Chains A and B, each alone.
Chain A
Amino acid sequence: MENDAVNVSRGSLAHPDIKTMAEVNVDVLKPLSKPGKGWWMLLGLCVLGIALLFWSWGIQMVQGIGVTGLTSPVGWGVYITTFVFWVGIAHSGTLISAVLFLFRAPWRQSIYRVAEAMTVFAVMTAGLFPLIHVGRVWHAYWLIPYPNSRFLWPNFRSPLVWDVFAVTTYFTVSAVFFYLGTIPDLAAARDAARGFRKKFYSVICLGWRGTDREWHHLSKAYIFLAALATPLVLSVHSVVSWDFAVGIVPGWHATIFAPYFVAGAIFSGVAMVITLSVLVRKAFGLEAYLTIKHYDAMAKLCLVTSMIVLYAYLSEFFMAWYSGEEVERAAFWQRLFGGYWWATWIMLVCNGFVPIMLWFKRVRHSIAALFTISIFVNIGMWFERYVIIVTSLHHEYEPFAWGMYRPSTVEMGIMVGSFGWFGFWFLLFTRLLPPVAIAELKEVLPRPMKPVADSSFVGTGSPPGGVSNG
């Protein structure tokens, strides 16, 4: 039965291919079953990645940070690049799930679960890197203000300590927010499950019954957490950007960093959401739920943030030249034409020029094109952080101290392994948690109407199993 457009709730995107509410449960809960061979193979790959990560890290812990390619003057390299990369990716999930919730955006409902999951796992991955890059990880807990017999505090003027707070806060809030929002869907999963799975979901849905009171409390809590998470989207990556902006390194010491990084974070995060959701959509047949319109919206977000990022690049180059300051000019000249010119041009092309294609509707409506562009964007964003860190450090004030940095196999192993770590958790998510927010989606689907007494229609009645609870 076709639901008339007139009954579609205001401010929602049409899901013309979703016929009934019951369908939603069935389709979305389908992946929560015994996984096929493909999933196991992917998981195996991710486990290999994790093994590579911890094996490389182990070598580094035993022998010393010297196994990397880091040196003087480039004291930070692939690790901090990858750290900022993963933290940046995380922001987009919170943007979609929290910020767009507050703004009542019409298209977030089906996508935000995948996005928020990506956030939580990205922050978990990012959180590894401060531990990895530190010289004496067995003392890393000194960055946390814990009560100690010497009354020592960490240095609150240091951006690295701000990072500790920002990232832990972000992880805590995101995880709680994610969990909370998933509870009604976990209850739906419990209802549809049998045996051990049923027990599992019963436990983690905290005995949700779908009563009025519960809904009332949940929505209040949800709004509260969304409001709490929203400023984090801006603040966390601003704080991370201040790791650089607070330093006096030419190429780091610029006021544009906070908005530049936040825009970049959204940019790379949305691209990663596109990448992941395209895969999930294909694998689990969720085309009806993640429609072209969703991707169109995300592509537009991508385009806007890409333009902000391109503007930031251009303004950095311009200001370096305009300042007339020799050291600053030289640092930016080196970016374009020095030893790392290839990294800079990858960054400019992937982040500034490739997304120009998103102006075209045809591109925005092509899933394959979006998938490709999103991969390019993420490559470009990884290189953006690499360029910022490495090119600035290698060509600073004192010419005698200039040097080159080449990442070693240990560093690349840890970087690649981090994708394995991320992928591992994400794969678990795809099989254990509903990939689409069932409850919220149903809120924007047109309500099932009572069938009109008309012989030309075949009544569908209510969906089997009674009115759904969510």
Chain B
Amino acid sequence: MNDGLKRRDFLKVVGASGAGAGVLGCSTEKVENLMPYVTPPEEITPGVATWYSTVCGECEAGCGMWVRTQEGRVVKVEGNPNDPVSKGALCSKGHSSLQGLYNPDRFKGPMIREGGQLKPISWVEAEEVLAGHLERADNYYLITGSTGPSLTGLVDSFAGDTGGKILNYNPLDHGPLREASRIVFGRDVVPWYDLGSAKCIISFGADFLDGWLSPLRDSRGFSKMSAVGEGGFKGRFVFAAPRLSLTGQNADEWLPIAPGTEALVALAMANVISGGTAEAGPYQEIVDAHSPEDVAAKAGVSAESIRRAANHLVEDGPSLVLGPGIEGQHRNSTAVNVAVAILNFVAGNVGKTVDYSSPQFGASSRSSSYESMQDAIGDMRTGEVPLVLVHAANPAYALPSTSGFKEAFGQVSFKVSFASAMDETAAMADLILPDRHFLESWGDSSWRSGRFSIQQPAMQPVPHFDSKQVGDVLLSVAENMGVGSGNQSFYEWLRLQWQSKAATEGVSDFEHFWREGLRTGVIDTESESESSSSEALRETDRALVFDSPEFDGEGDLHLMVYPSARFGDGSMNANRPWLQELADPVSKIAWHSWVEMHPDRAESLGVQNGDVLTLSTDYGALEVPAWIYPGIRQDVIALAMGGGHTEAGRFANGNGVNPMDLIPAEVEALSGGLVHFITKVAVTPTDDRYQLASIAGSDVQSNRPITPVVSLEEWTRGTTEHSDEGGHGPLKELQGIGGFVPIETEGLPENFPLDGSKHGEYGKEDEPRWAMAIDLDKCTGCSACVTACQSENNVPWVGESQVAMGRDMGWIRMERYYEAVDATQAGPVDIRFLPMLCQHCNNAPCEPVCPVFATYHTPDGLNAQIYNRCVGTRYCANNCPYKVRVFNWYTFTDEEPVREGLGHIPEPLNWQLNPDVTVRENGVMEKCSFCVHRIRNAQNRAALEDGVLAETDVVTACQQTCAAEAIVFGNIKDPNSKISRISKDQRSYRVLNEITNTQPAVSYLKKVTFHEVVSEGH
């Protein structure tokens, strides 16, 4: 969704009153009969969706969302096209927020612990209890995750009035980055990065595609800079880190530097650019002392590769250098970020692609350092702390067990949790006041200084759960205690904040301002942001150590703990089957944990895929199955966060291990942040094996042209043959003799109808012909399309045992093939992503073999699957060369699983189901339908309104959610449509077409590489 607003404005104005989202009649009883409203609510037309703007609360990026509701319940979330961060896209975590909203393990109401058991109580009682404790406590802690500006203001004032000390806790805190910004530019901020404007990016481990800072902004920016543009320019991306994350897999070159040597390499690059000059200001001496030759040996990469990368930074300017993420956060992290800032400065990027004056998070977003958490733990341990409140945080899970949080927390006399569902911290609480999900809440969010979004509820609170917004609770408790400010509800407080803000902006008509904010989802305020290009490097006021730090433990194997690409820190979103079953973009493993290990290291230990290993450090030991990965240094192994839950709900508990149990809780000296990359680890194979649920049959193309690429040089010369010629000359000759000759065509409008294939050619003259093109140069492999499709089409989740058998049911899957990955030296990375979905072949092999015509070709070019007619012989799936057809081996959609561990949909998860799409039962085959329900909806609406179907009216779910804008969909018979232009592109090809003559309607644009490709598949 990149061309601005939808043509038709779906948004109805949401009234300022709380009844704006009001629909009554959503009872919890199973409705057996369909009865029309006697007096229908005004805004609701059954069958027609109502959309609301809000902002996602899954991470700190604060992407704007559009929420689709039908009959008063939320059925889908998508990106808000008006929102400058998401621009209409949404990541997997965002989509999974639906399963957070309808999480069956949410608390049914407030609870109090009596006799060791949690018992339900009423809100009135619960608030009284809380008020009582607050009054008696002379001081207490309030641990909270990140909250929007208004709620933060309320919490601050509440804590101030009641004697509380606030601890902002964010497991993925960016302390070292902020401290470095403060040291070098005097601002304690997370700068704003503009990847899209950079011509060359070097990342020292920042996983900007996996979830660092603002994944949608950066996916979009990366795609813009890295994909070949009209002018034939391709931005270069170099990844310098010990491990290839998903972000690293998208790089053009990998510098597999030794653990902890990022600062040295960054300084060496700065040396190349500015050595011998005075550009680096107070740091010139240090820069001069670190030439590439000096650091090459320590870093483990050649000086020449460092020099080359540094030269790219200035040759292709403006460029951008990014510092390490959480996984590389070691004892000298702040120094690394300082070195990166210096490098950015001498490369001339400050103020262009990295902006310190208008930083990412608004002034109200802040994070306490881990140091203050450590102090709090010490305090709690004494047993003197009478009260702790925990909100939007799960420190009992997310902190390392060696931090002693659990023990200390246990010593607190009275513990209160605002968690909306059970988690490890709430499991220790004495009083639970369940907060609402952000889709049911009022609030606001600031994603950049001066830029805001209002968060509004999209439906009445899910009736199964008696929840209350934390803001309302605090206000009510404050009233109770006599320190209230007279506001009855958080909604009023919110409006009050905005009224004063609007006043300072000089807004006269507040109601109009408010409604526009709610309608568009975006509020921009004037903020003076001096350009920071006039910044100068400041001298450091702290002692910086740029050398690689000490690692605890013995041996040469370092343990990397990284935020999961699916869960992030995983402390509060693990109870979501969509995320659990989403194959990790790097390992393609679902449900369980794995430890990544280089093939050489594995061989030396005699370890194969699936062997269970014991990892032990000085701080803990875990057993976890191994997964062999060429994209990690031999002296590093890596574990993702997000596993090992014990109290987080039925889908999360028991899956995998929590790597935080292996690392100590150490504060990084300069920033106060938590050090993650800190210890070495000993690996001992056990005798056990574990069947990892991987969706990857093979990781290599095996001489088949599944994802051919074209080198930049060849593409610029314009010498690639177009599409389907492939490398099958000899085959064609044989075919010529043998009789069968594939139909030569490129699927262009003028080729229709195809010779020998009259499938679906019985449409009218002006019938559209739907086709799709996916640009593999833009696709980053993030798999957001997988979750979007699952959400849109009611695709069931099947459970770990079924995924391990190969029965996962994604309608679109993210294939990943290795071509060149070398962890021993600097060199090109060639890892290819291919989103594989039903190709809607014009010459579909699945159609002739279905005995009952359950699959056929529609006049508008779709390969249709009629669920009601399918008898389940599975011949169609056998005959599909792409294996995109998925079978319902069981009924995965009942409230109870057919057998233990199988997919099912307990109440109220079924509220999420899209009513425009059926729900299939066992024995039925299903597959991608090109979102036919969206096509028909758009056609119907066009027919009702003005008879013209515009290109932007029909958007498939996968296309819509892709931040990289890799997917294009439309009517290929329209010569002006984007799809017909793209299909003629020189890079366009169709998978397997020359071997099978399936004539897919989906074409792919070859990825463009900097290096020459020598593999057979080309």
- Which of A's residues lie within 8 Å of B, judged by CB? 63-66, 69-73, 75-76, 133-136, 139-140, 142-143, 152-155, 157-161, 164, 243, 246-249, 323-327, 330, 393, 396-404
Contact = CB atoms under 8 A, between A and B. Distances in A.
B851 A324 contact: no
A70 B889 contact: yes
Contacts of A142: 851-852, 869, 871
B851 A399 contact: no
Contacts of A401: 697, 882-883
Contact of A397 (B834, B881, B899, B925): B881
A325 B871 CA distance: 34
A64 B697 CA distance: 25
B836 A400 contact: yes
Question: Taking each of A161, A246, A400, which has the highest tally of chain B beta carbons within 10 Å of its own beta carbon?
Answer: A400
Contact of A135 (B806, B871, B886): B871
Question: Taking each of A140, A330, A399, which has the highest tally of chain B beta carbons within 10 Å of its own beta carbon?
Answer: A399
Nearest to B992: A397
B807 A71 contact: yes
A323 B730 CA distance: 9
Nearest to B855: A155
A143 B850 CA distance: 10
B938 interface: no
B553 to A, nearest CB: 38
Interface in B796-842: 802, 805-807, 813, 815-817, 834, 836
A396 B992 CA distance: 11
Given A64-B889, A134-B871, A398-B706, A158 B850 contact: yes
B881 A396 contact: yes
Interface in B847-897: 848-853, 869-875, 877-879, 881-883, 885-891
Contacts of B502: none
A71 B923 CA distance: 13
A434 B704 CA distance: 60
B842 to A, nearest CB: 15
Interface of B: 695-704, 706, 730-731, 734, 802, 805-807, 813, 815-817, 834, 836, 845, 848-853, 869-875, 877-879, 881-883, 885-891, 898-899, 902, 922-925, 992, 995-996
B803 to A, nearest CB: 10
A103 B807 CA distance: 52
B697 A399 contact: yes
Given A71-B807, A72-B883, A152-B853, A398 B836 contact: yes
A330 B697 CA distance: 15
28 contacts: A63-B898, A64-B890, A64-B891, A65-B887, A70-B874, A135-B871, A136-B871, A136-B872, A136-B923, A142-B852, A154-B852, A158-B875, A161-B851, A164-B851, A243-B875, A246-B849, A324-B730, A325-B995, A326-B702, A327-B995, A398-B697, A398-B706, A398-B882, A399-B700, A399-B817, A400-B706, A400-B816, A401-B697
Given A66-B902, A160-B851, A402-B697, 5 more contacts: A64-B888, A69-B805, A133-B873, A140-B871, A397-B704
A325 B852 CA distance: 33
Nearest to A66: B889
Given A324-B734, A327-B704, A397-B995, A155 B852 contact: yes
A135 B890 contact: no
Contact of B731 (A152, A154, A324, A398): A324
Contacts of B850: 155, 158
Given A72-B886, A135-B874, A158-B875, A399 B922 contact: no
Contacts of B703: 326, 330
B697 to A, nearest CB: 3
B802 to A, nearest CB: 7
A400 B734 contact: no
Contacts of B877: 72-73, 75
B865 to A, nearest CB: 13
B851 A143 contact: yes
Given A64-B889, A70-B889, A160-B873, A76 B878 contact: yes
A400 B696 contact: yes
Contact of B704 (A152, A155, A399): A399
B255 to A, nearest CB: 28
A71 to B, nearest CB: 4
B809 to A, nearest CB: 9
B817 A158 contact: no
Nearest to A393: B878
Contacts of A140: 871
A327 B879 CA distance: 15
B996 A248 contact: yes
